[in-house]
Structure 1
């Protein structure tokens, strides 16, 4: 549970379902992540509601009895926001808003709001606004009456805050304008990438909050913003890095997440182009997270969607300093030994052993095993570089270990 440290945080209830595809344990994991998203956006989850269902209710997502429980709790505890773990349809959102009489958000809306907070450059803000408009368009009917009683806060950054009287035609015109603006910037960024010449490009990819920016800072000796919150990095950062005497370009990209809104994948096309055009991917994984294997699968799924799943990849298991093996007493014959009881050594002998020298275990924060990391990256970049510039082979000898 995330501790409440600021009385100004917006109070919210979280709502999820348990289905055949999403069992109780999986539902808890998703709600844990939803709570972290809520905290990142500036809210505080005061209570969770879950319901076992064959499938979500088409009208109100959860059943009428559970919805009444939520309504009573909200009323008695002065809660201002209800956040659902899955994307709501326009009809569901309207129906729920009428019942609860508070601000209703879904996971997609929440992520879009965090992106709106994090966007620093005009390009990132344009990308976020496009995603927000595309999300908003099918939800215009009946929305403005709800917005009239909402006074800012989570989910209210962007077009919904200033365009209450907007109709579908104006939103469509805005989407066309934003797409045109992004297309122009895309061309400029493509030219910038082309101007980098044939220098080897390496991209950091991974789930959100796995330590990519911290690793970027350590390797490139720069000061990319890093914070223990989701989506701390939104704008892609590219730095020239030199390991020993071998130069290459290293880019830090936006973190991925389960149930990533399709609007964001589409609108952040140029950001993801850094991944598409990379020669080598460093897939950073937070091995201290109990669900890191699911995070790996989520990232690989998105990489496949952007046609980057077959790129040369080094798995970088970060945060080994924070990894905690769940204890199991030797005389405990009842508890089943699972992956949560594995030591790091045991993990290395699982499927990770098949990855071979493309699996590294480091702590970017404490700079553990960074020499091994640098050597492996150097060797891989050198191989690509020599293939591209054969006459430079003798300029870059084998990696020399620092004393």
Structure 2
């Protein structure tokens, strides 16, 4: 248990923003890793607008009734009383029974990390779709707990537990009906997305997405590579609503999308709720997997592992470029050492500093190398209104490497196979020559 002097000085502020953080650690676990996980909880609390004023830890296997031992929960209750906080946040996932039992002793609101993430998402949701996704995640979280909560409330006659209001036996069915309605609406939006992606492909755009562990610097990289000004803060889950912008790749047309960050041990109900957002990653032509190169190699590996676990079953062979961001914070002599330790988990690595804008040229070159291949051909167009119209269209759909005007318009051209095939179909057989 600890309360810093700085935290004590915050006592004049609203108790509603002040919280106690709790973490149970498995015996014989790595102390550095456990501290890293606790630090992640601190950052999540900060992202939700809370100020931790106390922390409590215990090393033991989980207790079925309280997660921690009963004595430690009594200690937590005393800490709640002495600090006057109204909320306690557990790193560990809590069952309905544990939530109820702990709240009975501590007499304050108890939540776990996943409920905290839902709070953050709810605060960051700005579009109708993202609000639906957050509600779907909340409902998916609640459904398996409803029967247990109803049973507990009937025993204790304590309405309002977990903020769900008065319970009735029909509540579970009401939740499931609402889930079905939201899923249907999101599925309709997914079909619109699929149509939009198909249209963008027909227009010659390659689709690229930024993915990676939350707070790796994706939004800063997005700003650097497309010359945008998307909000980028040193805070978890800054990006919740995907942002898409055109990316200049020297003639290749591409769209880059900034997406929501991953986090360790995301439950299936949360991933499922944000499926339509994550599809921006899964259905890309290329994924830029961003990691923080300034962290310890062990931490980088863990975050890469979390990202790969989220992606691997869904991307179906989509190439990945590992973007090792914040390289300006790493001694150049240590870059090779880092790669020796993480290389097997970091396909096609590129070191960059999004904040300073360094490494962008090398990154774009790597992107071009891994985009779906285009074909090269030589075309002969009639020097007429039809030929000039075709030339204008070809400029829009691909790259014109050389053009000569004479009796006919001769050009060397590069584009997607379907564009070249369409160009041939519009010309008489003798008007076009192709070389692969």
Question: Is TM (by shorter chain) over 0.5?
Answer: yes
In the alignment, the residues of structure 2 paired with residue 102 and residue 190 of structure 1 have an alpha-carbon distance, to the nearest angstrom, of 45
Aligned-pair distance for 1:359?
1.0
In the alignment, the residues of structure 2 paired with residue 170 and residue 353 of structure 1 have an alpha-carbon distance, to the nearest angstrom, of 48
Task: Assess if the C-alpha contact under 8 Å between 2:211 and 2:259 holds in 1.
Answer: yes
In the alignment, the residues of structure 1 paired with residue 52 and residue 243 of structure 2 have an alpha-carbon distance, to the nearest angstrom, of 32
- Aligned twin of 1:41: 48
Structure 1, residues 239-275: CA drift from partner, whole Å, max 9, x if none?
2211222211111111000021322200111111111
**Structure 2 residue 262 is the aligned partner of structure 1 residue 267:** no
Structure 1 pair 348/26, CA: closer, same or farther in 2 (3 Å)? closer
**Structure 2 residue 238 is the aligned partner of structure 1 residue 248:** no
Matched residue of 1:368: which SS?
coil
- Aligned twin of 1:180: 184
Equivalent of 1:346 in 334, 337, 348: 337
- Aligned twin of 1:279: 285
**Structure 2 residue 222 is the aligned partner of structure 1 residue 222:** no
In the alignment, the residues of structure 2 paired with residue 179 and residue 260 of structure 1 have an alpha-carbon distance, to the nearest angstrom, of 20
Aligned-pair distance for 1:130?
0.6
Task: Assess if the C-alpha contact under 8 Å between 1:300 and 1:309 holds in 2.
Answer: no
Matched residue of 2:312: which SS?
helix
Aligned-pair distance for 1:17?
1.5
TM-score under structure 2 length normalisation = 0.76
Structure 1 pair 354/390, CA: closer, same or farther in 2 (3 Å)? farther
In the alignment, the residues of structure 2 paired with residue 241 and residue 147 of structure 1 have an alpha-carbon distance, to the nearest angstrom, of 53
Structure 1, residues 37-90: CA drift from partner, whole Å, max 9, x if none?
01100111122222121x211111000111111111111111211111121111
- Aligned twin of 1:337: none
**Structure 2 residue 212 is the aligned partner of structure 1 residue 206:** yes
In the alignment, the residues of structure 2 paired with residue 251 and residue 21 of structure 1 have an alpha-carbon distance, to the nearest angstrom, of 41
Structure 1 pair 117/164, CA: closer, same or farther in 2 (3 Å)? farther
In the alignment, the residues of structure 2 paired with residue 146 and residue 211 of structure 1 have an alpha-carbon distance, to the nearest angstrom, of 45
- Aligned twin of 2:115: 109
Equivalent of 2:196 in 186, 192, 198: 192
Aligned pairs for 1:358-377 (under 5 A) are 358-377=348-367
Aligned-pair distance for 1:107?
0.8
In the alignment, the residues of structure 1 paired with residue 256 and residue 196 of structure 2 have an alpha-carbon distance, to the nearest angstrom, of 15
- Aligned twin of 1:330: none
TM-score under structure 1 length normalisation = 0.82
Q: Which moved more, 1:251-260 or 1:234-243?
A: 234-243
- Aligned twin of 1:303: 311
Equivalent of 1:120 in 126, 141, 148: 126
**Aligned residue pairs: how many?**
365
- Aligned twin of 2:71: 65
Structure 1, residues 206-239: CA drift from partner, whole Å, max 9, x if none?
0001111111112122232222111100111222
- Which consecutive unaligned segments of at least 5 residues does structure 2 have? 379-397, 402-412, 415-436
Aligned-pair distance for 1:24?
3.0
Equivalent of 1:89 in 92, 95, 102: 95
In the alignment, the residues of structure 1 paired with residue 79 and residue 335 of structure 2 have an alpha-carbon distance, to the nearest angstrom, of 43
Task: Assess if the C-alpha contact under 8 Å between 1:18 and 1:24 holds in 2.
Answer: no
Greater fraction strand: 2
Structure 1 pair 272/364, CA: closer, same or farther in 2 (3 Å)? same
- Aligned twin of 2:395: none
In the alignment, the residues of structure 1 paired with residue 178 and residue 345 of structure 2 have an alpha-carbon distance, to the nearest angstrom, of 50
Equivalent of 2:17 in 10, 33, 45: 10
In the alignment, the residues of structure 2 paired with residue 374 and residue 85 of structure 1 have an alpha-carbon distance, to the nearest angstrom, of 39
Aligned-pair distance for 1:18?
1.7
**Structure 2 residue 245 is the aligned partner of structure 1 residue 239:** yes
Structure 1, residues 90-146: CA drift from partner, whole Å, max 9, x if none?
111111111111010001100111111111110010011010011122334258877
